[in-house]
Amino acid sequence: MRKAQETTLEIDLKALKHNFEHLKSKLDSNTKFLAVVKAFAYGSDACVIANYLQDLKVDYFAVAYVNEGIALRAAGITTPILVLHPQAVNFKTCVAHCLEPSLYSSKILKEFIGFASAEKLHQYPIHLKFNTGLNRLGFGVNDIHGIASQLKKSAVVKTKSIFSHLAASEDLNEKEFSLNQIQSFKTISEKFVKAVGYKPMLHMCNTSGILNYPEAHFDMVRSGIGLYGFGNSTVENKNLKPIASLKTVISQIHHIDKGESVGYNRAFKSELPVKTATLPIGHADGIGRQYGKGKGFVTINGQKAPILGNVCMDMIMVNITNINCEEGDEAIVFDAQHTSENLAETVNSISYELLSAISQRVKRIVLK
């Protein structure tokens, strides 16, 4: 195992393959797999991840915004790409790069059909998002008649899929709510097919939906966090491998006397002599200020070193009083053993937030 010489994010493609194959094993052979690679593939490297998954024959990709899809096309991705939250101002570039928009309201559907008509498109693939309880984006069941009416008036677009999103699929205490969502989506699907006269693909399951609700796999499933190594439960985490390891090094060691302070605003004041290490990583790299004042930690030579005082923009200081280490030694922020989920929990956050916050200035190293 290589040792870090600077702040780096290591991306383990073997772990990615393991996670993909594990999740695929939960599906019927004819169920398609959509890989969610928005937010730089959850803070890793979207182009690297997507190219690797494309080689593994993933069926679809999803991004949040059009510019993310454009970056994938520029990196050689030819697999279909669903844009989950397109804006009307980006329709032209969306179509120019063969990206497929998710349309979620009467306003944006009308706008896209108007654009497609002006561009003289023919059966351009669109995806329709239905709200079944997340209450974030999506049409309601009462919108189906209006949607069908708009679609039948023009041949410029064709519905490739209709989909929804489970709100609490990881929480088995909310099973009744999830089952109600699934039933609502089935009802919506039946009404939509009847109204438009053909059946598009249906998809609803996220990672936890894949694992907990096989009855809702439908024609395709979507996985984000599962590909990156987390199953939203202790049991499922054991079957997955975190793909990202964030490492840094000790830049300098200080000996702090009793009564001295460390960092901005003197947020740590020593009641005893302590030894500290300064590391070249801070809130501009994705380690938010909430991890300071002893909440967050790194691991040095197998031992936990709590963050002292406030997190700086480019640095953190950690307590190494009882750790045998030297300047230049490696410090692990998170890896497969000391996971991002464990670190995020120290500030009542989740792995998604910590991973997606890792700055693009952090050097990426791909382990093949």
The per-residue pLDDT for range 187-208, each reduced to its tens digit, is 999 999 999 999 999 999 999 9
191 catalytic per annotation:
no
Same domain, 185 and 268: no
Same domain, 54 and 84: yes
Residue 13: is its pLDDT beyond 70? yes
Residues 6+ away with beta carbon under 8 Å from 142:
none
Would you say residue 20 lies in a domain?
no
* pLDDT at residue 267 in the model: 97
The per-residue pLDDT for range 142-201, each reduced to its tens digit, is 999 999 999 999 899 999 999 999 999 999 999 999 999 999 999 999 999 999 999 999
Is this structure's pTM higher than 0.85?
Answer: yes
* pLDDT at residue 124 in the model: 98
Same domain, 177 and 323: no
User: CB 75: neighbour CB atoms within 10 A?
Assistant: 14
Would you say residue 24 lies in a domain?
no
The secondary structure element, H or E, covering residue 253 is strand 252-256
Asked if 233 contacts 215 with a C-beta cutoff of 8 angstroms, the reply is no
* pLDDT at residue 368 in the model: 87
Would you say residue 88 lies in a domain?
yes
Report how far residue 182's alpha carbon sits from residue 166's, in angstroms, rounded to the nearest whole number.
Answer: 8
Complete edge-to-edge strand list for the sheet that includes strand 252-256: 252-256, 274-279, 316-319, 303-308, 297-300, 330-334, 244-249, 8-12, 363-367
Same domain, 262 and 162: no
The secondary structure element, H or E, covering residue 51 is helix 46-55
Same domain, 54 and 130: yes
Which residue's entry shows tokens 């984006």? 137
Which of the listed residues 199, 228, 257 is the one where a domain comes to its end? Answer: 228
Same domain, 207 and 68: yes
* pLDDT at residue 98 in the model: 98
Report how far residue 203's alpha carbon sits from residue 206's, in angstroms, rounded to the nearest whole number.
Answer: 9
Choose among 150, 153, 63, 71: nearest CA to 107.
Answer: 150
Report how far residue 158's alpha carbon sits from residue 163's, in angstroms, rounded to the nearest whole number.
Answer: 15
The per-residue pLDDT for range 213-263, each reduced to its tens digit, is 999 999 999 999 999 999 989 999 999 999 999 999 999 999 999 999 999
Q: What's the CATH number where 87 sits?
A: 3.20.20.10
**3-class state of residue 365 by DSSP:** strand
* pLDDT at residue 157 in the model: 98
* pLDDT at residue 195 in the model: 97
What average pLDDT does the structure give for the chain? 97
Q: Which of 153, 175, 258, 264 is catalytic?
A: 264
Which of the listed residues 228, 255, 273 is the one where a domain comes to its end? Answer: 228
Q: Which of 32, 38, 241, 247 is catalytic?
A: 38
Read off the pLDDT of each residue in 8-13 and give the average, rounded to a whole number.
Answer: 98
Domain that holds residue 201: 31-228
Same domain, 98 and 208: yes
Residue 7: is its pLDDT beyond 80? yes
* pLDDT at residue 357 in the model: 97
User: CB 13: neighbour CB atoms within 10 A?
Assistant: 18
As given in the structure block, the two tokens for residue 280 are 């070249």
38 catalytic per annotation:
yes
Same domain, 259 and 353: yes
Report how far residue 66's alpha carbon sits from residue 41's, in angstroms, rounded to the nearest whole number.
Answer: 14
Report how far residue 336's alpha carbon sits from residue 8's, in angstroms, rounded to the nearest whole number.
Answer: 15
The per-residue pLDDT for range 80-120, each reduced to its tens digit, is 999 999 999 999 999 999 999 999 999 999 999 999 999 99
Would you say residue 263 lies in a domain?
yes
Which residues are registered as beta bridge partners of 271? none
Read off the pLDDT of each residue in 128-133 and give the average, rounded to a whole number.
Answer: 98
Handedness of CA 164, 168, 170, 176 (dihedral sign): negative
Would you say residue 312 lies in a domain?
yes
Same domain, 113 and 167: yes
Please count the CA atoms within 13 angstroms of the CA of 125 that sit on its side-chain side.
13
Same domain, 171 and 319: no
Q: Which of 2-6, 18-22, 220-224, 309-313 has the lowest mean pLDDT?
A: 2-6
Which residue's entry shows tokens 């197998």? 302
Report how far residue 170's alpha carbon sits from residue 230's, in angstroms, rounded to the nearest whole number.
Answer: 11
Q: What's the CATH number where 317 sits?
A: 2.40.37.10
Would you say residue 196 lies in a domain?
yes
Report how far residue 222's alpha carbon sits from residue 206's, in angstroms, rounded to the nearest whole number.
Answer: 5
As given in the structure block, the two tokens for residue 136 are 């974030």
Task: Give ∠ CA 269-273-276 in degrees, rounded to 5.
Answer: 75
Same domain, 219 and 290: no
Would you say residue 255 lies in a domain?
yes
Would you say residue 279 lies in a domain?
yes
Residue 127: is its pLDDT beyond 70? yes
* pLDDT at residue 1 in the model: 55
Residue type, 49: I
Report how far residue 319's alpha carbon sits from residue 301's, in angstroms, rounded to the nearest whole number.
Answer: 13
Which of the listed residues 228, 263, 287 is the one where a domain comes to its end? Answer: 228
Same domain, 284 and 353: yes
If one counts the domains in the chain, the total is: 2
Residues 6+ away with beta carbon under 8 Å from 37:
46, 49, 50, 53, 61, 62, 63, 68, 72
